[in-house]
Structures are given as structure tokens and as C-alpha cells.
Amino acid sequence: MNKKLLQYSLPLILIGLFAFTIYQSGRREKVLLGVLTKSLEAGHYEAYKIDDRISGLLHKKYIENLDYGKRYFLKSDIELLEKYKYLLDDEINNRSFDFFDLTVELIKKRQDEVEGFYNEILEKPFNFNKRDQIETDPDKLDFPKNEKERYDRWRIQFKYQTLSKLHYFLTIQENAIADKDTAFKVETYEAIEIKARKKVAGDYKEMFRRLHQLNEKDRLSAYLNALTESYDPHSEFMPPKEKADFDIQISGKLEGIGAQLQEQNDGYIKVARIVPGSASWKQGQLKAGDLILKIAQGDGEPRNLVGVRVTDAVQYIRGKKGTEARLTVKKPDGSIVIIPIIREVVILEETFAKSAIIKNDNSDFKTGYIYLPKFYVDFKNRNGRHCSKDVELELEKLKKENVDGIVLDLRNNGGGSLQDVVDMAGLFIKDGPIVQVKGRYGKPYILKDRDSRIQYSGKLIIMVNTLSASASEILAAAMQDYHRAIIVGSPITYGKGTVQNIVDLDRMVKNAYDDVKPLGALRLTIQKFYRINGGATQLKGVKADIILPDLYGGIEIGERELDDVIPWDEIDAAKYSVWENTIKGLDLLKAESEKRVNNNKDFALVNENSARLIKQRDITKYSLNLKKYRAKQKKLKAESKKFDNVFKDETSMHIFSLKGDLDKIQGDSLKLASAEAWRKQLAKDAYLEETMRIMQGIK
């Protein structure tokens, strides 16, 4: 299929379907609900109508979103809301918000009530000599029957959190005494208990401050996302701010000043990091640790940012290239300065592919290594960066270095551009099918590599783990089916086998509704993809050819752990021919790797830790008795201590940056420091070391 057609066919179809004029009120909420629901019904892969089944799912998911811990709503509230369980489809079709408005009114009322009494609970000392417990799994709890039961649930919650802080402060004091730290001020138990309660009270004061900042758009977004998640976990409504963030993540660039910000508990916006090479970095006055008090657009009136959510502050600070952001900043020494910064295009280098060369002491064998964090693409710029083009450039650089094999690292790569994964797979084969794609109607179609050039024909290993998903799984599966590469890593990958398209909701309505724009975007699941052998990666993922101990083995991660997922199935295989230089002796490579892994103390600890975490995750009840709690925590710490130094030591690998890459950053101390930090990180990567040894064993 033509690349442009693949990217834009759905929005064009939807424009034809949804440029309707049924809205009478012109209210933004009604327009947004209407265009979103019509998009879901007409475009989603599963072709579900919004009926009683969807209504029930929406009802459940939205209430969970509002009060997952079952600590705000009363049972009577849930009984009241239960009446709407199978009426929400009718409300949606009528563009009614009765249920939504009622939930907003109720949750705000209940949150205000809790805010009214939390200090009362935390003003009094807790008795930690009792033998009471807390249940931390909401699925094992019902909603409180009345206000008294809710009050007691919060009391238990505050007691548990105070107990955790108390243990932390007591441990610090005990360690200081044991170390004979004369500078440490020893406090009584009573003073430490008061400090613990004050810390919990401060945390909740900040939490309620942030709850008060939620506006109707925030709450409506939560409601609409409960609706999209009723179709599948990957369909998502993105308000305008989230859509802007998505564009930045997938393209690796933005227009702004190049400062990463964080919101502090006191309401200040703090500069966490200056992006190397950015406008802030070049201007030189803004530093990490500075507090941004105000923002003015050039000579305009300054806007106060104290108490403003960081997500909102970011929108004021970003802006078009060439415009001026005039920041009022408080320095760590207390001085107030005004810093003018001309916005530029900020390049987030950590988004992009990069490469290195790996050797070890006992061999002249050179392994080329390419790290790809995501399948990035600049949808707004045809000449912008594409991961497939960048990987091709890295391959060319490594070929010039005469490497003996190449490792492509897709660990933690959650996916991205479908077309780019097709183009990237084509770098390693002559031509042929890469992936099969099926929409809600019609037969599957095949996305092929039609370029007969082979950019790299040598030894190839693809590294994956449990968090390798979507486009990563397409590439790994295709190379596995062609017998072109060995897949090394976790037993199975994430298992996300669906394709999403971004629908610009502003394009779905007529110009008469310009007053309600921007509406945002819908990330819509429109297709399912299949391996060229016919099997879906959905739920089942890609199985590694050579399995290494899974760092996430004790954690429930993957598509199979999510609710309301699209099921696995299979279709007919595509016609393809396996790689002519199929890797020989895979069983021997597996056996040799298994022997090395079994003799590696760090890998043994990874397996042991996974077993420990699996055992712990079923424990949901905890004692609120101080002695029992502290004994349990000390036992857990002793058990976990042995895992603290896993993968801390450098391996036998020697990591080298490519000379051309180093030449480009000579004189830039920040980029040189970043390159050195990456080199040191790779040097400690036991998974990469084992992969390199597998590469050396390929005949």
C-alpha cells in the first residue's frame, strides 16, 4: 500500500462521514463526544456499536478511574451510579452528560469531605502496638457503607503511610547512631512519630492542591478515555496538550527553549535539566535548579507560574521558533533575574538511533551495535528524521569499520511508525513481504520491501525484552521468519499486535464549530498485523530464539495482563523465501549460551529476584504493628540487598564510539560527557555481553 494512503486514508474517510451538522447547542463537550463516538464506531478495528456492553465497560472503567482505591465514594453513591450502568449508550447517542455531571459533582463533594477531615486524623498519634492490618488490594474491598466506615478506611490508610515514614526516619537515626555520626541530631520516638505524620499530611495537602487544579476538560478527558479503553487498551483520546507531547515523542523535536521542567510540592516550577544544544543552553543564564516564577511572551505582560500545573506551564513556555520567552527566575541564592530566550527547534538526541563498536580482551572480533529507542518519524516534515533512514546510516558507518556482525537493540522499544519498520526490515533482505495487515473489513494486505538492495547482509542479532512492543515485534518477527536474524532476550515480547492511526478531531467537524477547537486527537486502533508466517503477535508476542533471564520476570507486564484486549488469531501465511545464508547450529548456540548464563552470578540473581517478586506480589495485607512491620521490612531489605549490585561491575567488553561521531562533538563538553556516560552504561550491560558472545559463536 502507498505510504501516504496508509497514513491518511482513515482521516479522509472520516471527514466524509462526520462533517455533519446535528449539533444544536454548539457546546464543545457535545461536539467532542459526537465526533469521538462516531469515529470509534466507524473506524475501530472491532466494529463495535456503542451498546449496553460498551456502556457497562465504560461505567466500570470510569468509576475505577475516579476512585480506584475505593476511599472516596460511599456504597450509596455506587448504588446511585449503578442505575446508569446500561444507559450510557443512550446518553452518548443523545449527547447527554447526566451521568458525567453527576459523577463530577459526587467525586468533588466526597474529595472535599475527605480533605475536611484528613488533618484531624493526622493530628493525633497512632498506636502502633495494636495488631491491626491493612488490605491494599482494592479488588478485595467493597466501597464503604457509610461515612464512619470511610473515615476508618482513611485512618487505616494514613496509619499505614505514617508507619512507612516512621520506619524510614527511625532507620536513618539508627544508622547514624551506629556510624557514630556526631553531627546527627538524635530525636525521641515521639518527635519522629510527629515528623512522620507531618510528612504524610504535607503529601496529602499537595495531593488535594492538585485535585483542585483539575478542570472540566481534565475530567471529561478521563471520561472519554474510559470510553476509548472500552474498545481496546490502545485507543486513546488525546487532548491538545497530550497530542503535542505525542508529536514531540515520536519526532524527537519541539519548538521551545529546551528546558525540562518539574513541579515541586510547594507549587514552584523547577528547571530539572537543560537540553544540550538548545536555546537555553546557548543563552547560558538558565540553569538546572532555577525556579521559574513568571513567563512573558516578548514584551507582553508576564504570567504568574507559581501554583500552575507543570503541564500548563509548559504550554506557555513552548512557542514558535524565533519568538521570545522572557522568564522571571529565582536563582538558588534567592536572587531574581529576568532571562530572555529566543525559542529554537529543540532536538532530543536521546530519541534517535546511535551506534558503537564492541570488542573484548580475547578476540579481534568486532561487533557493531545499534541502539534504537523507538521507531520515530516526523509526520509533519517529509524531509524530517526517520528511524529507518538513520539506521541505514548507522549500518553504513559500521560496515566501513569492518565489523564482523551487528546487534540491533530493540529492548524497551515500544514501537512507532509502521512504514519505517517495513523500510527498516528491507535493509536486511533483498525484497519480499514484511508484515500482513488486516482492517475491520476485507482481506489482509501485505506490506512489502520492494527495494532489491541489501544494505547489510552480514551476521545479525536482534535484542528484545518484555517491553519490546508493536513495531519492534514486527521487525523481530519478520527477521525470525526469514531466518535472517537470531532473536535474543526475554522469553516473549510485549504482545501488542495492533495498528493505531492518529485522527485529528478538528478535521472531523465543519468550520461552523471553529469556536470549540482545538478538540485534540483520537489514537484509534484500526488494524491488526500478522507475521508473514500467518500468526499474530497480539498477546503471544515474539518468542526469543535464545532466552536470557528476564529482568521483568517477577512483574506482570504485557498485553496479556490488560483488560478488554483484542484476541489472538492467525491467517494464511504470505509467500516468502527464507534467507539463503540461514544461520547454522542454532541449537549449539543455545546450549553454549545457556551454559554461560548458568555460570553467571548476575543472571542467577535475576532469576532469583524474579521468583522473589512473584512470591511477594500475592501479598496484599500488611501489619500495622510497628515491631512486626519493622521486622518484615528488615527481612525484605536483607533479602533484596544481594540484588543491589547486580550488573554494577563492568563486563569484559570494550566499547568504542565511532570516530566520525566523536569528531562531530569535539569541543562540546556536555555531548562528550553524554557519550562517555553511554559508553560506561553499555560496558556494564551483561545482556549485551552475552549477545556479543553469541555473535562470536555464529559460523
Q: Which of 177-181, 362-366, 385-389 has the lowest mean pLDDT?
A: 362-366
- Residue pair 505/520 in contact (Cβ under 8 Å)? The answer is yes
Is residue 96 part of the annotated active site? The answer reads no
State the pLDDT at residue 383. Answer: 84
In the beta sheet, which residues pair with residue 329?
Answer: 292, 337
Q: Contacts from 140-143 at CB under 8 Å and sequence distance 24+?
A: 140/620, 141/70, 142/70, 142/75, 143/67, 143/70, 143/73, 143/74, 143/75, 143/77, 143/78
- Tens of pLDDT, residues 617-626: 889 999 999 9
Query: Which one of 359, 496, 528, 540 is the catalytic residue?
Result: 496
Strand pairing category for 460-464 and 445-449: unpaired
The amino acid at residue 169 is: F
- Tens of pLDDT, residues 586-595: 999 999 999 9
State the pLDDT at residue 66. Answer: 97
Burial 547-572 (b: 16+ CB within 10 A, else e): bbbbbbbbeebbbeebeebbebeebe
How far apart CA 311 and CA 326 sit, in angstroms, is 18
How far apart CA 43 and CA 10 sit, in angstroms, is 7
Helix axes 52-66, 98-122, angle to 10 degrees: 20
Q: Given the C-alpha cell 545457556, which residue does it identify?
A: 594
**Coil, strand, or helix at residue 435?**
strand
Each domain of the chain, given as residue ranges in start order, spans: 49-230, 253-347, 349-697
Give me the percent of the chain exceeding a pLDDT of 70: 96
The amino acid at residue 590 is: K
Topology of the domain comprising 349-697: 2-enoyl-CoA Hydratase; Chain A, domain 1 (3.90.226)
- List CB contacts of 41: < 8 A, sequence separation 6 or more: 47, 48, 49, 50
Q: DSSP readout, 276-312? A: TTSHHHHH----TT-EEEEEEETTS--EE-TT--HHH
Is residue 468 part of the annotated active site? The answer reads no
Q: How much is the average pLDDT of 168-189? A: 95
- List CB contacts of 224: < 8 A, sequence separation 6 or more: 32, 33, 36, 237
Q: How much is the average pLDDT of 58-76? A: 97
Strand pairing category for 236-238 and 253-256: unpaired
State the pLDDT at residue 5. Answer: 32
- List CB contacts of 17: < 8 A, sequence separation 6 or more: 38, 42
**Of the ranges 2-6, 459-463, 610-614, the best mean pLDDT one:** 459-463
Helix axes 387-400, 418-425, angle to 10 degrees: 30
Query: Which one of 468, 470, 472, 623 is the catalytic residue?
Result: 470
Sign of CA dihedral 163, 613, 651, 387: negative
Query: Has this prediction a pTM greater than 0.85?
Result: yes
Sign of CA dihedral 121, 127, 128, 134: negative
Nearest partner of 3 among 376, 393, 417, judged by Cα: 417
555's enclosing H/E stretch is none
CATH level 2 (architecture), domain 253-347: Roll (2.30)
Same topology between domain 253-347 and domain 349-697: no
What cell numbers appear for 606 in the block? 535475576
CA within 13 Å, CB half, 627: 3
pLDDT tier, 232 (very low <50, low <70, confident <90, very high otherwise): very high
Give 117-185 as a 3 state SS string.
HHHHHHCCCCCCCCCCEEECCHHHCCCCCCHHHHHHHHHHHHHHHHHHHHHHHHHHHHHHHHCCCCCCC
- Tens of pLDDT, residues 192-228: 999 999 999 999 999 999 999 999 999 999 999 999 9
Give 444-483 as a 3 state SS string.
CEEEEECCCCCCCCCCEEEEECCCCCCHHHHHHHHHHHCC
In the beta sheet, which residues pair with residue 347?
Answer: 253
Query: Which one of 89, 449, 481, 685 is the catalytic residue?
Result: 481
Asked whether residue 667 carries a pLDDT value surpassing 90, the answer given is: no
What cell numbers appear for 281 in the block? 543552553
pLDDT tier, 277 (very low <50, low <70, confident <90, very high otherwise): confident
pLDDT tier, 11 (very low <50, low <70, confident <90, very high otherwise): very low
Q: Given the C-alpha cell 515480547, which residue does it identify?
A: 493
Q: Could you give the C-alpha distances from 615 to 39, 610, 611, 620, in angstroms and in order? A: 44, 9, 6, 11
- Tens of pLDDT, residues 110-162: 999 999 999 999 999 999 999 999 999 999 999 999 999 999 999 999 999 99
For the chain, give the mean pLDDT. Answer: 92
**Coil, strand, or helix at residue 579?**
coil
- Tens of pLDDT, residues 434-488: 999 999 998 999 999 999 999 999 999 999 999 999 999 999 999 999 999 999 9
Dihedrals φ, ψ of 650, to 5°? -70, 145
Is residue 235 part of the annotated active site? The answer reads no
